[in-house]
Copies of this chain bind each other. A is one copy, B any other.
Amino acid sequence: MTNRKGKEFRLKSRPIGVPAPENFLLAEVDVPEPGPGQVLVRNAYMSVDPYMRGRMIDRRSYAPPFQVGETMTGGAVGQVVAAGAGAPFGVGDHVLSMAGWREWFVSSGAEMLQKFDPIPGVGLQTYLGAFGMPGLTAYVGLTRIAELKAGERVFVSAASGAVGAVVCQIAKAKGCYVVGSAGWDEKCDYLTAELHCDRAINYKTVGDLDAAVAAAFPDGIDVYFDNVGGGHLEAAIGNMRTFGRIAACGMIEQYNATGTTAGPRNMILVVGRSLTIRGFIVSNHYDLLGDFLRDMAA
C-alpha cells in the first residue's frame, strides 16, 4: 500500500430518467503499490460519454452494466508513476485506458491500456477527444461503416459533440458537403464558423425537422452519421439517396427515456432506396487505430 489516498466515483443507485448527483458517490480509497507485471497510473483526464448512460441500466448490452456500489469505469488518459517487475510500460509512459472515474489505478489487465506518444502542442485531454475514442469512433463510422467517398453529401446529428465534431472535420477534409444539427444557436455557429460545415440546423427551433433536412439536401443524403436516433433518424431516412448509408453510432434521444420510444415510420424506404443502416461499437474496430492516428496527424 502506498501512503496515497485517491478519489473515485461509484454508482450509488440506478437513475430513472435524467441522472442526478444523488445517483453517485465520491469515495476516498487507499492507493495500492503495483505488483509484478502491473503499473500504477495517475489519471490526468477522464471522459464522460453518452454510452455511459446505458451502462447505468441493469440490462444486457455491448458494455456490461455498472454495478451499484462499485467503482465506475470509462475512458481516461494518464501517466505511469510506478511499475512492478516485468511491467509492459515504464514510469513516465502516457497511457489511454478504460479505467476512468478515478484518480489512480493499478492495472489488472482489464483496463485495455494503450501507450501513446503525445504530439507536441496537443493537450493530453485531446487523446480523450479528437485523437482518442470519440475521434476513432468518428473515423470508424465514416470510413468502415458508412464507406464515405470524397464529395458525398453528409448529415451529422449532435454535430458539435465529441464524436460529431470530428465527423464534420473528417468529412470536410474529404471534400464532402456537410450539414450538422445541434440544439443551440451557439453550437450551430460553431459548426459553420469553426468546423466549416456548409450548413447547420438548430433542431430545437427549426420546427419541421424533416423539411429542414430536405431543404439542406435538395439532392438527398449519401451518408447520415446518427448520434441521436428518434426524429433525426426518421428525417434522415426520408431524405436519403439510393444506396445511402447510415452509421448508427448512438441514439441519445432514447438514453434517458423511461418508456418505449417511437421508431422511424418510414422504414419502408430502406427497401425502396436500398439503404444500409449499420450500428457499431468502436471497441470492435481498434484495428483501425493506426490508420486513424496516421490520417489525423496528416
* Residues of A bordering B, CB below 8 Å: 54, 61-62, 229, 233-234, 242, 248-251, 254, 260-281, 284
Contact = CB atoms under 8 A, between A and B. Distances in A.
A242 B60 CA distance: 11
A275 B277 CA distance: 8
Given A262-B262, A263-B234, A263-B263, A268 B281 contact: no
Copies in the complex: 2
Given A262-B263, A278-B278, 4 more contacts: A249-B271, A251-B268, A275-B278, A276-B277
12 contacts: A62-B273, A233-B267, A248-B267, A251-B271, A261-B265, A270-B279, A273-B279, A274-B278, A275-B278, A276-B278, A276-B279, A278-B278
B242 A271 contact: no
Given A242-B62, A264-B267, A267-B263, A279 B284 contact: no
A281 B274 CA distance: 6
B279 A272 contact: yes
Q: Pick the 10 closest A-B CB pairs, nearest first.
A: A263-B263, A270-B279, A271-B279, A263-B264, A277-B277, A276-B278, A251-B268, A260-B265, A61-B272, A263-B265
